[in-house]
Structure 1
Amino acid sequence: MAILIRSVHMLRIACALVLASAAAPAAEPLEYAVKAAYLTKFGIYVEWPDASPGSPLNLCVAGEDPFGKALDSAAASQQPGNRPIAVKRLKTATPESGCNILFIGGADPATPQVIDSLRGSPILTVSDARDSGAIVNFVIKDNRVRFEIDETAAEQNNLVLSSKLLGLALNVKPRQQP
């Protein structure tokens, strides 16, 4: 009887380990699906200095693309300000890349340098790397995807962020007052 109880106990532990290992990879695709949804919604809350009505809103991913089809699916269902979203995947980004929104993943060690090279360009920079210098930085808080905003960086890129977007942010680094 003791052997049977021990076997059942070991079976339960094995099942728990299998379920835990199967659930772990599923969390990452969900994380990037949520980030993709955010990226396609940010355009509603940003004013670009030279936006042409009806022109595509270029949403770029520089470097490794962690989104896969999730970003394309999310973009297909959004038209911020009646502007269709065009998804572009780039090896690296420059001010001439034509991006309105640019995501650079935290795995890229050059992220802070790329973001710094775009300073002054009307590009909403987004990253999930800590201290990247991006305008929007994704963070995980209480197992949820959230974001922080650097209003000074937005101002340096001549972008106006809606108070609604600022209100949704987990943290806002306010503009520096002159």
Structure 2
Amino acid sequence: MNRSTNHGLRRTVAVWMLACVAALCAGRALVPPARAQSAVPAVPLERRVKAAFLYKFLGYTEFPATAFADAAAPLTIGVIGADDLAVELARVVAGRTVNNRPIEVRELREADVGARVHLLFVGGGDAQRVGRIVRQASAAMLVVTECENGLQLGSVINFRIVDERVRFDVSLDAAERNGIKLSSRLLTVANRVQKGAQ
């Protein structure tokens, strides 16, 4: 594949994934006015975009069979330190499935870090706290963070704001350590993919 074709494919996949995220975020605007007035305060756009990305990440991640109790077990997303994102994420995944598995969202506290989840999102920028949580996380888990140097702290995916947009970096080493495989389609739209010592 020549360089120009590869660039075109990357751009197409990036546009498609961002369009999916935008569509998921826009769904919030379809709430009838009466319900919207009684709803919880609006979730900031950055949180809505990150919630949509977390849902999309599940479709690009292959978890080992041992990560599930049985064929009908749900995909579970745990959220620590970002209750507003957890609420938005629950709205995004309601009624949806990934690989024929239902999705459930759990709001966790740091003491719950040993809970069995498939994707763990650790909110906040306190590197000491995030590093401590990431180190305690179980294997067979996609760990996503949003702090400075998140990949160096051991996360698989770390959100960043680049040119006022939500982007993400990926650590293939962390994915391998956690026993999960990430689709090349996800890597294509990442801001940066890290492999080996950086």
TM-score, normalised on structure 2?
0.69
- Counterpart AA for 1:136: I
* Identity among equivalent pairs (%): 36
Contact residue 61 and residue 102 of structure 1 kept, 8 A: yes
- 1:154 paired with 2:175, answer yes
Structure 1 residues 60-85: Cα deviation after superposition (integer angstroms, max 9, x where no partner) = 10134241532111111531111111
Give 1:98 shift: 1.1
Select which of 75, 80, 88 maps to 2:106: 88
User: Are residue 115 (structure 1) and residue 134 (structure 2) matched?
Assistant: yes
Q: Runs of at least 4 residues of structure 1 off by over 6 A? A: none
Unaligned runs of 5+ in 1: 1-26
Contact 1:125 1:135 in 2 (8 A): yes
> How far off is 1:59 after superposition?
0.5
1:35 equivalent among 29, 38, 50: 50
Structure showing greater Rg: 1
Are the counterparts in 2 of residues 53 and 82 from structure 1 also a CA contact under 8 Å? no
Runs of 5+ unmatched residues, structure 2:
1-41
Output the CA distance in 1 between the equivalents of 2:187 and 2:48: 22
State the match for 1:55 in structure 2: 73
Q: Which residue of 2 aligns with 1:22?
A: none
Contact 1:41 1:80 in 2 (8 A): no
What is the total number of aligned residue pairs between the two structures? 149
Change (3 A) 1:170 1:77: farther
The answer to whether structure 1 residue 75 and structure 2 residue 93 are counterparts is: yes
What's the C-alpha RMSD, in Å, of the aligned pairs? 2.2
Q: Which amino acid is the alignment partner of residue 151 of structure 1? A: L
Kindly provide the amino acid, as one letter, of the partner of residue 47 in structure 1. E
